[in-house]
């Protein structure tokens, strides 16, 4: 998994997954130049999906694209994570993104043992997923470095939003087969310059062309232009992550004529004033 990845939203209609809309979104994102797709991540409302629903989403995405598929399979316990991972592999996933369990406040030693057991049993490569915003725990770079030596642990998505964290993880993982992925659209170009291999960016749902261009410019050695391109959607990224979250992503997709369906409760649509403000922010990002 290198380049720009999209934690694709999950469209719903009347409470059920809208597979037709999901396929349409996959085709739009692929045409926009993204490098891989991530169904059932945080932006895909994964915590609100059953295991069966996750498998259905993964299968639909895998069937609709030729891009690599990194499927979110992490649950709060080992057994359901293994079940979801095994079924995701059968559904066409190329690798599994496994969030750090958080309910019981596990420390790094417990999490490292957990990830090794998942990786030992998984039929597909495992990517660590450190997202302290939701789990209240960030995997330490030292722990990530120790796990990077496992033959079936292929990378990490670091969603701390900290450039220092990305740099330290890069420094602790010199394995050529281990990918460091930026989880924040605001630090994408800077993370790439610090040695990251790509990113998994919620904002890439909304501006896949711009996010993909950041990676292309970086790969061509045009780092200043990559930073400028990234800067053009930093405010949009803040709006659809820290401020409005998944409801903001889906509202912005609607504004781009890519309807993403309803939200699962307890999530609710944006208020009219917030949607008007989001439209203005999106317009500025698209004009930049």
180-184 average pLDDT score: 98
What distance in Å separates the CA atoms of residue 225 and residue 212, rounded to the nearest whole number?
13
Say what the pTM is: 0.97
180 is in an annotated binding site: no
Using CA atoms, how far residue 21 sits from 61, 140, 268, in Å, is 11, 38, 19
13-29 average pLDDT score: 96
What distance in Å separates the CA atoms of residue 242 and residue 52, rounded to the nearest whole number?
29
Of 129, 133, 188, 250, which one is the catalytic site residue?
A: 129
pLDDT of residue 176: 82
- The answer, yes or no, to whether residue 265 has pLDDT greater than 80, is yes
pLDDT tens per residue, range 201-226: 999 999 999 999 999 999 999 999 99
What distance in Å separates the CA atoms of residue 7 and residue 281, rounded to the nearest whole number?
21
pLDDT tens per residue, range 82-103: 999 999 999 999 999 999 999 9
pLDDT of residue 273: 98
Of 115, 127, 157, 188, which one is the catalytic site residue?
A: 157
pLDDT of residue 177: 87
Q: Name the CATH superfamily for 3-287.
A: Aldolase class I (3.20.20.70)
144 is in an annotated binding site: no
- The answer, yes or no, to whether residue 175 has pLDDT greater than 80, is no
Q: What are phi and psi of 85, to 5 degrees?
A: -65, -45
Is 157 annotated in the active site?
Answer: yes
Is 129 annotated in the active site?
Answer: yes
Of 132, 5, 165, the residue nearest 70 (C-alpha): 5
Domain ranges across the chain:
3-287
Rounded to the nearest integer, the mean pLDDT of the chain is 97
What are 47's two structure tokens? 């915590």
Of 75, 65, 76, the residue nearest 8 (C-alpha): 65
């Amino acid at each position: 998994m290198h380049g720009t990845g999209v934690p694709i939203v999950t469209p719903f209609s009347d409470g059920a997954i809208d597979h037709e809309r999901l396929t349409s979104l996959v085709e739009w994102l692929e045409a926009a130049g993204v490098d891989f797709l991530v169904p059932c991540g945080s932006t895909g409302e994964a915590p609100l999906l059953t295991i069966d629903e996750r498998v259905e989403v993964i299968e639909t995405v895998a069937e609709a694209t030729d891009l690599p598929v990194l499927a979110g399979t992490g649950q709060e316990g080992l057994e359901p994570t293994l079940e979801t991972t095994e079924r995701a592999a059968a559904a066409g996933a190329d690798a599994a993104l496994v969030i750090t369990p958080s309910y019981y406040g596990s420390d790094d030693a417990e999490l490292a043992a957990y990830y090794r057991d998942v990786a030992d049993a998984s039929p597909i490569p495992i990517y660590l997923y450190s997202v302290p915003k939701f789990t209240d725990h960030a995997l330490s770079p030292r722990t990530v470095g120790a796990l990077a030596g496992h033959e079936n642990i292929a990378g990490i998505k670091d969603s701390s939003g900290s450039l220092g964290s990305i740099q330290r993880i890069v420094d602790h993982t010199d394995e050529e087969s281990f990918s460091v992925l930026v989880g924040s659209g605001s630090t994408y170009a800077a993370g790439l310059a610090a040695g990251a291999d790509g990113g998994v960016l919620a904002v890439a749902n909304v501006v896949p062309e711009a996010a993909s261009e950041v990676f292309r410019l970086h790969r061509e050695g045009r780092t200043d232009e990559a930073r400028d391109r990234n800067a053009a959607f930093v405010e949009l990224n803040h709006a659809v992550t820290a401020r409005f979250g998944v409801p903001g992503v889906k509202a912005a997709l609607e504004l781009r004529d890519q309807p993403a369906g309803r939200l699962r409760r307890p999530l609710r649509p944006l208020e009219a004033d917030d949607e008007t403000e989001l439209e203005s922010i999106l317009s500025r990002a698209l004009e930049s």
